[in-house]
Structure 1
Amino acid sequence: MALAGIALRDWRAQGSSFTFRGHDIRYWSAGSGEPLLLIHGFPTASWDWHYLWRPLAERYRVIACDMLGFGDSAKPRGHDYRILEQADLQQALLVHLDIHEPVHLLAHDYGNSVGQELLARHEAGGFALASCVFLNGGLFPETHRAVLSQKLLLSPLGGLFARLFNRRRLAQNFARVFGPASQPSEAELDAFWELIRHNDGPRVMHRLIHYILDRREHRERWVGAMQRTAVPLRVIDGPVDPISGAHMVARYRELIPQPDTVELPGIGHYPQVEAPEQVLQHYLAFRQERVR
């Protein structure tokens, strides 16, 4: 049965706010039980999870925020956006919600790097992680195949390119990274663009893209944490994704002991949007089979 999504207007109405280091952050929380933290990717926002939100909230306490620089949260100009700060934000949100027990994690893309940092903190005794599932994302910088727009944002012309970024360019990029039979609808593209555009978001995209450099800088810490950890891990991946598809999964199987991976045939970079029913199925199976 197809999962019913949540319209962006309704999603926004369900959100709340808290202050993180002087910046307004929008977040969402629903359900009860074990906490499940959902972390979105670049350049979108927590609305990415809207198909999965209700079915997951029927089983767990689900929590998500638009990270600093994304979606409906503050997007300060000139800010030095770093993955370590975004991990601090996730921890601050959990404190704000008075959650102190071990947390389950479901992450995508940029959120994978935040999740890797939280896993490294868990290994160092600074965070309590119960399980972690990664969707498509650059878990290994050597397998991340940046698209042209990412390369331009990271270049000396990044600020100019960011100011010229618009819905048309977004649609072109998504057409390349979504699966051929699971392309976003015009309504979905409108919603994605609205979240990027909000608070003059394109003007900070060239600063947010620094996460690609963060991945290189922290590779040994983050990959090492995945190799050492006893925390249950799974990768659910859309293999036709040109950025982090089948080639990323192959590298994961080379480097991670007893790798637990699932590939969704024909699906691209956004499996939670392209094939939410399959993601839900494999996520719930992971919780039943691997997490005690």
Structure 2
Amino acid sequence: DTVAFELLYRNDHNRSGHITINSLCLSNGGIFPETHYPRFGQKVLKDSGFISSVLTRLINFQLFSRGIRDVFGPYTQPTEAEFWDMWTGIRFNDGNLVMDSILQYINQRLKHRERWVGALTSTSTPLHMIYGPLDPVNPHPEFIQLYQKLVQRSTLSVLDEHVSHYPQLEDPTGFFNAYLSFINSF
């Protein structure tokens, strides 16, 4: 979402070069710092420094899977093989060693809140939100109420009550159908 917000801002302010955004579909990202509740590991790692650089080297599959398990719904948990696929993706090319740098998006969302939320609230680009309501990172109803209040031009799809932070993984069919409905609406 962070990259999409910046590109939307640039698109709407003629600063994008040759990027044109015809529509934007969001899902369960921490759009608003005031309704975003990062997990414990994210909080620790987002403050770059010696401690976070040491912790990135200590994280193993068990710690990773335990932490990520908490942001999936109780009935939409990944299989052990899927957890291993996620972990393998993070470990590729030592990606786990830069997790503290990647998590800077949390600090950037606070720093650039007005710019990015302003882009969402003022754009004429068609917007849609596909949301998993069991998300502990962007909890319902707090997140959705703020989203609907501030991003009034957006349409919204709320998926099954058991879907959490990763709706595209937890309910791929529901997510796909919601997305198709959105892009077929214009």
Moved runs in structure 1, 4+ residues, more than 3 A?
none
**Deviations, residues 204-239 of structure 1 (Å, cap 9, x unaligned):** 111111111111111111111111111000100111
The residue aligned with 1:142 is 34
Are the counterparts in 1 of residues 46 and 107 from structure 2 also a CA contact under 8 Å? no
CA RMSD of aligned residues (A): 1.2
Give 1:154 deviation, angstroms.
2.0
2:7 corresponds to 1:118: yes
Are the counterparts in 1 of residues 126 and 154 from structure 2 also a CA contact under 8 Å? no
| TM-score, normalisation: structure 1 | 0.59
2:56 corresponds to 1:162: yes
Give 1:245 deviation, angstroms.
3.6
| Letter matched to residue 258 of structure 1 | R
Are the counterparts in 2 of residues 245 and 269 from structure 1 also a CA contact under 8 Å? no
Percent identical pairs in the alignment equals 38
Q: Which runs of 5+ in 1 are unaligned?
A: 1-111
The structure showing larger relative contact order (alpha-carbon pairs under 8 Å, at least 6 residues apart) is: 2
Give 1:271 deviation, angstroms.
0.8
Counting only pairs closer than 5 Å after superposition, residues 61-72 of structure 1 correspond to structure 2 as none
Counting only pairs closer than 5 Å after superposition, residues 164-183 of structure 1 correspond to structure 2 as 164-183=58-77
Q: Which runs of 5+ in 2 are unaligned?
A: none
Are the counterparts in 2 of residues 249 and 261 from structure 1 also a CA contact under 8 Å? no
**Deviations, residues 235-259 of structure 1 (Å, cap 9, x unaligned):** 0011111002423222101211234
Give 1:139 deviation, angstroms.
0.9
The residue aligned with 2:109 is 215
Q: Which has the higher helix share?
A: 2
Q: Across the two proteins, how many residue pairs are aligned to each other?
A: 179
Corresponding residue to 1:251 among 139, 142, 146: 146
State the alpha-carbon separation in 2 of the partners of residues 183 and 176 from structure 1: 9
Q: What secondary structure, in the 3-state scheme, does the structure 2 residue paired with 1:231 have? A: coil
Q: Which has the higher strand share?
A: 1
The residue aligned with 2:44 is 152
| TM-score, normalisation: structure 2 | 0.92
Corresponding residue to 1:241 among 119, 135, 139: 135
| Letter matched to residue 250 of structure 1 | Q
Give 1:113 deviation, angstroms.
0.8
Give 1:153 deviation, angstroms.
0.4
Corresponding residue to 1:287 among 166, 183, 186: 183
State the alpha-carbon separation in 2 of the partners of residues 137 and 146 from structure 1: 11
**Deviations, residues 50-80 of structure 1 (Å, cap 9, x unaligned):** xxxxxxxxxxxxxxxxxxxxxxxxxxxxxxx
